[in-house]
């Protein structure tokens, strides 16, 4: 049998099976990547696809869960204390290119410790990315390891990152109910809030566009003949829409040199209220102040009943059943007729 190339570094075995295309670390399959190029591209792609916040949660969650696996491995070793396991972890990770980690101030009864981490692969990737703040993968990874070793939930707080200009990254670990699942839920809530905010902005935009369209087409002034204009009233008029109608009509009457304003009420048959009757009275009275006579057309029997019950006096305006009759009337006042 052909001997596979191997080397022992710091008591750890590295081996290669070139025929099978395998690299072995302590007898198990492993892979090698260039940190500042291939792994940087991997990190960049995750951030590009999912966004920086989501990528940070992904790396933190992955680091923590992989740490649980490593912690379980060392926990399974018989007659190995937590302090001894910490030394084994330090040597193992250093030989695998994970950076130099010094585990200090370990208090097994309090489940606390501190990790000083220098020149990690994550730091090198962050430098290659041009980051100003360090990542969360390794910090969470060690939290996962010690969660398994201590047998209770452990979380972390980064005192500072090496990338911020310090000689090393310093991370404190302590018991906490905080975990990656909570951060995943927080991210999900954040994304939901962002989506809701985007939808609200879209609704506001579309509502504004719709209101602008309604204002543009609502109750248009239609010049039908010389000095005669028609304003068809359509739908329901709230306070804002009524004000828009008044302002728009009164501003444009002089433009058309309108002597007669025909208010076509046909479109109000199903929406005629006392408020609508008051609006008509106000519009007609105001138009008369600038020399325009108001003629009402399209009044139905139902409208007549509402007008009577409202107590609003519209009898001062000439009223006709159809728009055609109203136009003939306006023309007749000037001695003209349609032939």
Reported as a pLDDT band with limits 50, 70 and 90, residue 193 is low
Higher pLDDT, 180 or 141: 141
Structure confidence at residue 1 as a pLDDT band (50, 70, 90): very low
Q: Which residues, other chains included, contact 56 with Cβ-Cβ below 8 Å and sequence gap of 6+?
A: 135, 136
Helices (H), the chain: 40-50, 52-75, 82-95, 121-129, 137-150, 180-217, 239-252, 274-288, 301-310, 323-333
Q: In the predicted model, what is the mean pLDDT of the chain? A: 84
CA 159, 163, 167, 171 torsion-angle sign: positive
Spatial contact of 12 and 91, defined as CB atoms under 8 Å apart: yes
Mean pLDDT in residue range 66-94: 84
Please, which pLDDT band fits residue 55 given cuts at 50, 70 and 90? confident
Cα–Cα–Cα angle for 63, 64, 70, rounded to 5 degrees: 90
35-178 is classed CATH 3.30.1380.20: yes
**Cα–Cα distance, 116 to 23 (Å, whole number):** 29
Give the C-alpha separation, 65 to 4, whole Å. Answer: 32
Query: Could you give the angle at which helices 52-75 and 40-50 cross, rounded to 10 degrees?
Result: 130
> Phi/psi of residue 183, each to 5°?
-70, -35
Question: Cα(328)–Cα(337) distance, rounded to whole angstroms?
Answer: 6
The correct CATH number of 218-333 out of 1.10.10.10, 3.40.630.10, 3.30.750.24, 3.40.50.300 is 3.30.750.24
Structure tokens at 29: 């399959």
Q: How confident is the model at residue 146 (pLDDT cuts 50, 70, 90)?
A: very high
Residue 190: predicted pLDDT: 56
How many C-beta neighbours within 10 Å does residue 42 have?
Answer: 11
* 3-class DSSP assignment, residue 32: coil
Span 246-300, pLDDT tens digits: 888 888 899 889 999 999 988 887 777 888 888 889 999 999 999 999 999 988 8
- Residues 191, 184: contact at Cβ < 8 Å? no
Q: In terms of DSSP bridges, do strands 100-107 and 112-118 run parallel, antiparallel, or are they unpaired?
A: antiparallel
- Confidence grade of residue 215 (pLDDT, cut at 50, 70, 90): low
Angle between helices 137-150 and 52-75 (to 10 degrees): 30
Enumerate the domain spans of the chain: 1-32, 35-178, 218-333
Does pLDDT of 2 surpass 60?
A: no
| DSSP state letters, 233-253 | --S---HHHHHHHHHHHHHHT
Whether the predicted pLDDT of 217 surpasses 80: no
Residue 127 confidence class, pLDDT cut points 50, 70, 90: very high
| pLDDT at residue number 194 | 64
Quick one: which H or E segment has residue 173? strand 169-175
Residues of the chain with pLDDT > 90: what percent? 23
Whether 41 has a pLDDT exceeding 70, the answer reads: yes
Site of tokens 């519209």: 314
Average pLDDT (200-213) is 75
* Model pLDDT, residue 120: 92
Q: Is residue 172 classed as helix, strand or coil in its secondary structure? A: strand
Instruction: Give the pLDDT confidence score for residue 179 in this predicted structure.
Output: 67
Contact in structure between 105 and 112 (CB atoms under 8 Å):
yes
Angle at 83 between CA 77 and CA 88, to 5 degrees: 60
Structure tokens at 211: 């209101």
CB 287 within 8 A of CB 261: yes
């Amino acid at each position: 049998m052909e001997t596979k190339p191997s080397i022992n570094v710091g008591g750890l075995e590295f081996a290669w099976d070139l025929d099978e295309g395998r690299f072995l670390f302590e007898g198990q399959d492993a892979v090698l990547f260039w940190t500042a190029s291939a792994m940087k591209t991997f990190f960049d792609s995750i951030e590009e696809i999912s966004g920086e916040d989501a990528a940070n949660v992904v790396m933190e969650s992955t680091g923590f869960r992989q740490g649980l696996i490593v912690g379980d491995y060392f926990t399974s070793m018989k007659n190995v204390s937590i302090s001894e396991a910490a030394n084994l972890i330090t040597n193992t990770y250093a030989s695998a290119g994970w950076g130099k980690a010094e585990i200090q101030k370990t208090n097994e009864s309090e489940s606390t410790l501190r990790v000083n981490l220098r020149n990690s692969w994550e730091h090198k990737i962050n430098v290659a990315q041009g980051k100003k703040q360090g990542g969360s993968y390794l910090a969470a990874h060690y939290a996962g390891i010690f969660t398994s070793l201590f047998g209770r939930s452990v979380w972390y707080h980064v005192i500072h990152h090496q990338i911020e200009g310090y000689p090393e990254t310093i991370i404190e670990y302590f018991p906490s109910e905080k975990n990656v699942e909570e951060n995943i839920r927080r991210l999900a809530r954040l994304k939901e809030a962002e989506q809701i905010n985007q939808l609200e902005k879209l609704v506001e935009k579309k509502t504004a566009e719709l209101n602008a369209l309604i204002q543009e087409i609502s109750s248009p002034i239609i010049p039908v003949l010389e000095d005669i204009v028609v304003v068809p009233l359509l739908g329901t008029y709230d306070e804002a829409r009524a004000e828009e109608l008044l302002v728009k009509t009164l501003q444009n009457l002089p433009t058309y040199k309108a002597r007669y304003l025909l208010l076509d009420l046909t479109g109000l048959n199903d929406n005629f209220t006392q408020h609508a009757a008051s609006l008509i009275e106000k519009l007609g009275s105001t138009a008369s102040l600038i020399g325009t006579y108001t003629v009402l057309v399209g009044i139905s029997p139902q409208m007549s009943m509402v007008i009577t019950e409202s107590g609003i006096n519209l009898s001062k305006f000439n009223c006709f059943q159809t728009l055609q009759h109203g136009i003939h009337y306006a023309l007749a006042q000037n001695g003209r007729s349609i032939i």
